Structure formats: C-alpha cells, structure tokens
Amino acid sequence: MSEARLYSNLINRFTKETLEKFYFQSGAIDWKKLVKFNSGI
C-alpha cells in the first residue's frame, strides 16, 4: 500500500472517531464534550 494511501486511511479513521465522539447525530458539535476533552478535565 502506498504512503499516500496509508495517510489517507489515517485521516479517515481520525475523522470517523472525532465525529463519533464529539458530534451529535444531527451533525452539530457537542461543545461540552469537546471542551472537556481539550481541557483535560
């Protein structure tokens, strides 16, 4: 597998995990969760 393909897969996986963790089903950002995660609380 090419380096570009591996990088693309990594970006896709990161995007999927971010959407699952920090977004509501409606597509809106769950700012409370995101800020809590980012602040280390």
Give the C-alpha distances (Å, rounded to integers) separating 4 from 7, 14, 20.
Answer: 5, 15, 24
Instruction: Report pLDDT for 41.
Output: 72
| pLDDT, position 12 | 98
Domain that holds residue 35: 3-39
Single-letter code of the amino acid located at 36: K
3-state DSSP of the chain: CCHHHHHHHHHHHHHHHHHHHHECCCCCECHHHHHHHHHCC
For residue 40, the model assigns a pLDDT of 83
User: Residue 27 has what pLDDT?
Assistant: 95
Query: Structurally, how many domains does the chain consist of?
Result: 1
* Per-residue model confidence as pLDDT tens for the chain (41 residues): 899 999 999 999 999 999 999 999 999 999 999 999 999 87
Instruction: Determine the pLDDT at residue 15.
Output: 97
